[in-house]
Amino acid sequence: MLNSKSALLMLTVSSLTALLFFAKQKLTRVQADQNLQKKALMTWEGEGGNFTTRPTESK
């Protein structure tokens, strides 16, 4: 009985670790995308609007 509990605990911990890893990856991608959008918006405002349309920030 102890072996099955240990195996279940190990599976749970590894699953939670994987979920945490993927959530952190997604957060990093979202933050990078937001930084690019902010940089584009600042460039648009700072250079008199060199883009054909004003960039929008995602909410």
Residue boundaries of the structural domains of the chain: 25-59
Beta-carbon contacts of residue 4 (< 8 Å; ≥ 6 apart): none
**Residue 25 Cα distances to 10, 18, 31, angstroms:** 23, 11, 10
Q: What pLDDT digit, counting tens, does each position of 13-59 carry? A: 999 999 999 999 999 999 999 988 888 777 666 555 555 565 566 65
State residue 32's pLDDT score. Answer: 93
